Amino acid sequence: MDWSSKIADHIARIPRSGIREFFDLVTGRKDIISLGVGEPDFVTPWHIREAAIYSLEKGHTTYTSNYGLERLRQEIAHYVEGFFRVSYEPLKEVLVTVGVSEAFDLALRAILNPGDEVLYHEPCYVSYSPCAVMAHGVARAVPTYKEDLFALNPEVLEKAITPKTKVLILNFPTNPTGAIAPPETLEAIARICIKHDLIVMSDEIYSELRYDDVPHVSIASLPGMKERTILLHGFSKAFAMTGFRLGYACAPAPVISAMMKIHQYSMLCASITSQEAAVEALLHGKDAMIKMRDSYHQRRDYLVNRLNSMGIPCHMPGGAFYVFPDISPFGLSSNEFATRLLMEFQVAAVPGTAFGPSGEGFLRCCYATAFEQIKEACNRIERFINTL
């Protein structure tokens, strides 16, 4: 059979993730220091793993409610109220999913009609545009700029809105720039969303990983915004639980119920083992999370200072675990810079263009890597730029 003509047109048109494409180059190579993959280098804290083991020991090996364990939804609602200052009804406004990834996909599929436009600020997480297209939407990037520290500029946003725009995706702190949105910017964005009747999908997966004592503000907590926001969060980053594949959506009941329709037929439920571990994370995971965050904080400061002192301009990102240095002064494209750094000096970092065209001239370095590795990577990067 000729499968090339059998694949759905809108899927065939989606390009492969730039990150994966780049990391194919790394496969099988020795001595590579990776600042590439956006994943905590910590193992999930022991008490959380122990809760997972205990869940299995007790023989909890069944499906759960499609919405997720009631106990977990209650703890999520409690945590979200304390951390994001927004209250949700645990039985109707919370859906437990397989990572933020699934929550994100469900939300788009639940709200988009073919041709509806989805705006997102770029450079951005690699999944946003493909997921919008897979849900038959039209993905449209709104560029962000180094001068604004990659926070979304409300004026630029408003100019991008058309009568077909239905959804705005926000992600603060941002992957890959580490950007945070100052409260006044978030308020201006909220006013625009209300004025143009937009739905906001707010991916707040890095919200605990904020530095410099700046508290996280969710757009859902601003006046008039809870009713139009789908808040997406999960356990992967702050609790170092990527492999547990657990996330959730909090939103008004009608959209949760629409998302649930898709979830029950496509996924059924998230793993019970992961859900029981997540209850433990929410109840007792704060200390371990703060320790990990403090360690990222130290690494961020070191990496940003080293890059700037060797002559690579790099803003101080407010959150997540990425730095996004400006490599344009060296006269190479992002892709050339990253490929040569990898091939000649064995440091893997991701070209900014993997996160959209507005990432040209930048490089994403993830600092969720051992301190010694970061130091050595900096030594190699310095040697590399001295050859240019």
Instruction: Pick one of 175, 271, 353, 358: the residue that binds ligand PLP (CB under 6 A).
Output: 175
Q: List, as one string, the DSSP characters of 163-206.
A: TTEEEEEE-SSPTTT-----HHHHHHHHHHHHHTT-EEEEE-TT
Q: Looking at beta carbons only, is 193 or 205 nearer to ligand PLP?
A: 205
Amino acid at 172: F
Phi-psi region of 361 (alpha: psi -120 to 50; beta: other; left: phi over 0): left
Verify binding: residue 242, ligand PLP, rule CB under 6 A: yes
Instruction: Pick one of 40, 154, 234, 317: the residue that binds ligand PLP (CB under 6 A).
Output: 234
Query: Taking the complex as a whole, how short is the minimal distance between the CB of residue 84 and ligand PLP, in angstroms?
Result: 16
Q: Looking at beta carbons only, is 242 or 333 nearer to ligand PLP?
A: 242
Please give the residues from 198 up to 217 whose contact with ligand PLP meets the rule CB under 6 A: 203, 205
- The partner residues of 139 in beta bridges, in order of sequence, read 118
Please give the residues from 38 up to 57 whose contact with ligand PLP meets the rule CB under 6 A: 38
Verify binding: residue 171, ligand PLP, rule CB under 6 A: yes
The span from the CA of 139 to the CA of 165, in Å, is 10
Helix, strand, or coil (residue 8):
coil
Query: Taking the complex as a whole, how short is the minimal distance between the CB of residue 234 and ligand PLP, in angstroms?
Result: 4
Handedness of CA 359, 321, 97, 193 (dihedral sign): negative
Pairing mode, strands 199-203 and 229-234: parallel
The residue at minimum Cβ distance from ligand PLP is: 99
Please give the residues from 253 up to 282 whose contact with ligand PLP meets the rule CB under 6 A: none
Whether the Cβ atoms of residue 226 and residue 87 lie closer than 8 Å to each other: no
Q: List, as one string, the DSSP characters of 71-129.
A: HHHHHHHHHHHHHHS----TTTSEEEESHHHHHHHHHHHHHPPTT-EEEEEES--TTHH
Q: Looking at beta carbons only, is 238 or 341 nearer to ligand PLP?
A: 238
Amino acid at 284: H
Query: Taking the complex as a whole, how short is the minimal distance between the CB of residue 125 and ligand PLP, in angstroms?
Result: 4
Q: Looking at beta carbons only, is 175 or 346 nearer to ligand PLP?
A: 175
Query: Taking the complex as a whole, how short is the minimal distance between the CB of residue 321 and ligand PLP, in angstroms?
Result: 10
Please give the residues from 58 up to 77 whose contact with ligand PLP meets the rule CB under 6 A: none
Instruction: Pick one of 125, 172, 324, 345: the residue that binds ligand PLP (CB under 6 A).
Output: 125
Query: Taking the complex as a whole, how short is the minimal distance between the CB of residue 387 and ligand PLP, in angstroms?
Result: 32
The count of residues interacting with ligand PLP (CB under 6 A) is: 13
Instruction: Pick one of 55, 129, 236, 335: the residue that binds ligand PLP (CB under 6 A).
Output: 236
Instruction: Name the H helices within the chain.
Output: 9-12, 18-23, 46-57, 70-84, 99-111, 128-134, 154-160, 183-195, 253-266, 272-284, 286-309, 334-345, 371-386
Site string for ligand PLP, 84-123 (x = CB under 6 A): ---------------xxx----------------------
Sites of contact with ligand PLP (CB under 6 A): 38, 99-101, 125, 171, 175, 203, 205, 234, 236, 242, 247
